[in-house]
Structure 1
Amino acid sequence: MTPKIHIILCSHNRSKKTIACITSLVRQKSPNFQCTITLFDDGSVDGTVQAVQSQFPQVNVINGDGNYFWCRSMCLAYGAIKNNLSEADFLLCVNDDIVLYPGALEGLVEEHQKMSALISAPAVHVGYCEDSAGAITYGGLRRTGQIKYELLLEFGAVADSMNFNCVLLPKPILNEVGFLDPAFEHSMGDIEYGVRISRQGVKIVTSQKVVGLCEENDLTLNLKKMNFFGRCQALVSKKYFPVRSWCYFVQSTCNQFWPIYFLYPYLRFTFFLRSK
């Protein structure tokens, strides 16, 4: 039986990257699976929606108003197609700044099928991404502290959590443990999801090879360019550590000393980050 895969991604004002991403998804065609693509565009004003609809009329586009950011956009995309997942075997979540290499999706599906035959536990597969210099940028994560995670640079290994740049989720896992939590606005939702499903016995398995090109987006570099007051304002914005999301994250993933971990990034990035 040919597996059916529903792909979801979100976008906001980076039309060229979004088009490159969808192009790479469409080129993943294989007789070994069937794909459907849904894009949630969060209020782009750079022609993203028009370009996608013109070049890829088969892509289902959902429009936001620009206030949802990454995690909530992905949650809305998932909510829009959730009732149709009865006909799908997998959900593939990707970031719109990734360009999948030829055969990447087929490889992930094959890896999952082989792994499922070897282990009794449910599993998701996270694909490794690399930058243009060949350095790994996103993928499986190793937890090294209560709020510290680093890339697990090991192919075919079991990770503690993951980035959501390219993740293959089997439908039974979605039915059992759900999806990303909309309590998170932009970031942190993918790491929390990895921790949550791991606690419920789901294995997060890293890909056997790099699946796509995705440059690293290091927001710390932006903070270094700001003055003290700019950093204070940025730290509580949606892209960094919004208070409610960050509080929920540490409460959900840390031990009883979570209030200390809650304060840590605000103190570190405000007072101990050297400006350039």
Structure 2
Amino acid sequence: CITQQTYRDFKIILVDDGSTDGTAETIIKHYPDIVILSGDGNLWWTGAMAKGVDHILPIAQDNDYVLSLNNDVTFEQNYLERLLQTSQQYGQAIVGSLCKDVIPPHDVLDAGITMRWYKYQYGQVTYDVTKPAAEAVDTISGRGVLIPVSVFKRIGNFAHHSLPHYGADYEFGFRAKTAGVPLVVDYGAVVYLKNDLTGFRPTARVLSYREEWCRLFSIKSPANVIVHLKIIWKHCPHLGLTLFNICYFIAGNLFIASKNTLLYTLQLCGLRKSSS
């Protein structure tokens, strides 16, 4: 997708974090102009993004941009052109993408993220097909987002030390908004997501003891409690609300984990039918 864009003035940086499927060799053979940065397999999402940004900043101008892309999305040929136009239109904004499921009928998965800090509740902007963009967003997903280089120079890189995988894109968005950087989701710039391709996403069934532990603490889990507690501590606007949210969040997860553990134990004892 990226090599077929209508806007051509860009350089591709690929962070290959220890892949063993021949990715680097194939890229070198077929796309020799692509810059490959190698990792040891322990960069995860945030480390890979930070490594790419660190490579770019010394050679970039203030009017350059960084396009963050995951490997599980596709997009149209005018995608980059749209993002650039929208960023300039909104005053060097960070511009996210409308995210749709790659499988027809292409349901909308992300039209803009909102945050209600009381009880730490993420929400979604209601998608309005008549509007060109969503402006009332509180943070932004990193699966397809254009970020002015000037923003990195102003607020710093992705927080790869404290948030190695999940949560770092949201944390960066919160940090940028606090610094006064406009956040916009362009409804004309669509990424099509291969949903559930990566990560640990439990189904509605009762989880085993190990699966429940992974839900709470795995680096691959979007529900990782450490990640969310770090975001609450760093970005919740008031100390009293911060402490309330921490207690509320911990209590809620303890309840869910206890309930799931009890139900799974009953299943093992034959006192409850399996939900699988």
Correspondence list, 1:64-75, <5 A: 64-75=39-50
State the alpha-carbon separation in 1 of the partners of residues 182 and 62 from structure 2: 24
- 1:27 maps to a residue whose letter is Q
State the alpha-carbon separation in 2 of the partners of residues 51 and 265 from structure 1: 47
The answer as to 2:14 corresponding to 1:39 is yes
Deviations 1:110-152 (A, max 9, x none): 1222233xxxxx5211111211221122352011344321332
State the alpha-carbon separation in 2 of the partners of residues 97 and 89 from structure 1: 25
Q: How many residues align?
A: 246
Alignment CA distance shift 1:233-1:106 (3 Å): closer
Q: Residue 248 of structure 1: CA displacement?
A: 2.0
Q: Residue 228 of structure 1: CA displacement?
A: 2.2
Alignment CA distance shift 1:70-1:224 (3 Å): farther
Match of 2:85 in 1: 110
Aligned pair partner of 2:144 in 158, 166, 169: 166
The answer as to 2:209 corresponding to 1:237 is no
Q: What TM-score, normalized to structure 1?
A: 0.79
Aligned pair partner of 1:199 in 144, 154, 178: 178
Match of 1:213 in 2: 192
Match of 2:270 in 1: none
Q: Residue 56 of structure 1: CA displacement?
A: 1.5
State the alpha-carbon separation in 2 of the partners of residues 156 and 208 from structure 1: 5
Aligned pair partner of 1:250 in 232, 245, 268: 232
Aligned pair partner of 2:96 in 97, 112, 126: 126
The answer as to 2:16 corresponding to 1:26 is no
Rg larger for? 2
Asked if the contact 1:140/1:206 (under 8 Å) is kept, the reply is yes
- Aligned partner of residue 201 in structure 2, secondary structure: helix
Asked if the contact 2:17/2:38 (under 8 Å) is kept, the reply is yes
State the alpha-carbon separation in 2 of the partners of residues 190 and 177 from structure 1: 13
Asked if the contact 1:98/1:213 (under 8 Å) is kept, the reply is yes
Alignment CA distance shift 1:243-1:235 (3 Å): closer
Match of 1:52 in 2: 27
Q: Residue 208 of structure 1: CA displacement?
A: 3.1
State the alpha-carbon separation in 1 of the partners of residues 18 and 40 from structure 2: 5
Runs of 5+ unmatched residues, structure 2: 237-241, 264-274
Q: What TM-score, normalized to structure 2?
A: 0.79
Q: Residue 229 of structure 1: CA displacement?
A: 3.0
Match of 1:148 in 2: 121
Alignment CA distance shift 1:49-1:108 (3 Å): same
Alignment CA distance shift 1:259-1:86 (3 Å): same
State the alpha-carbon separation in 1 of the partners of residues 125 and 32 from structure 2: 38
- 2:44 maps to a residue whose letter is F
Match of 2:73 in 1: 98
Asked if the contact 2:111/2:187 (under 8 Å) is kept, the reply is no
Runs of 5+ unmatched residues, structure 1: 1-23, 117-121
Alignment CA distance shift 1:269-1:73 (3 Å): farther
Alignment CA distance shift 1:228-1:115 (3 Å): same
Q: Residue 164 of structure 1: CA displacement?
A: 0.6
